[in-house]
Amino acid sequence: MEVKDVFDDAFCDVTKKIVKLDLHKSDEKMQDAQAVSDFQDYREMIQTQGYVNAVIVCRFSNEMFHYITNTMNNGVTPSGEELPLYINEYINIACGCAISRINDMTGQLSRLTVPRFYQCGEPLEGDLDFREQRFLSYDSRLGKLQVYLFYSLNDYEEGK
C-alpha cells in the first residue's frame, strides 16, 4: 500500500467520523510547490519526522473550512481565536491516523508536529522540496479539500 493510499483512507474515515461528511475523489490537477505556497485559500500545514519525513499541506474551500470548524464546535462558528484550534485538531487526527498505520505497517517510527494554520493569502513557511510529491483531491456536498503530500522515506533503520 502506498503512502498516498494510507492518507486517502485516513482523511475519508476521519472526515466521516468527526464531521459526518463523505469525501469523493475529484479530478483536479496537482500544482507545483510554489503554487501550493501561493494559494489564497485557508490552509493547514503539518510535518512528520522519522521514517516518513513530510510536509503535508491541506487546502480547504471556504465552504468546507467553515463546515468542518462549525460542526466540530456543535454547529456554532468558533471565535477567531479558536478557529485554528478546531482545524488543527481535524488535521492532527487525520494525519495521526495515517502515520500510526504507516508506523505499524513498517515497524518504524514517525512523529507529528503541532499543525499550523494559514489564513487566506498568508504565504507558507518551510521547504516543500522533497523527493516524493503526491496529491489527493476531494469534492463533497459541502465544498472541496485538497491534500498535498511532500515527503521522503528515511531508510536509516533498514537492516536492523
Answer positive or negative: Cα dihedral of 76, 123, 62, 97: negative
Instruction: Tell me which of 3, 4, 9, 18 binds another protein, using CB under 8 A.
Output: 18
Please report whether residue 93 would count as binding another protein according to CB under 8 A.
yes
Please report whether residue 101 would count as binding another protein according to CB under 8 A.
yes
Query: What does the alpha-carbon distance between residue 111 and residue 47 come to, in Å, rounded to a whole number?
Result: 8
In the DSSP assignment, the letter for residue 90 is: H
Instruction: Tell me which of 4, 31, 78, 142 binds another protein, using CB under 8 A.
Output: 78
Instruction: Select the span of 54-62, 70-78, 125-133, 148-156 touching another protein (CB under 8 A).
Output: 70-78
Give the count of residues interacting with another protein (CB under 8 A): 29
- 34: burial class by Cβ within 10 Å (0-12, 13-18, 19+)? exposed
Please report whether residue 85 would count as binding another protein according to CB under 8 A.
yes
Alpha-carbon torsion, ordered 36, 45, 124, 130, to 10 deg: -60
Please report whether residue 112 would count as binding another protein according to CB under 8 A.
yes
Please report whether residue 9 would count as binding another protein according to CB under 8 A.
no
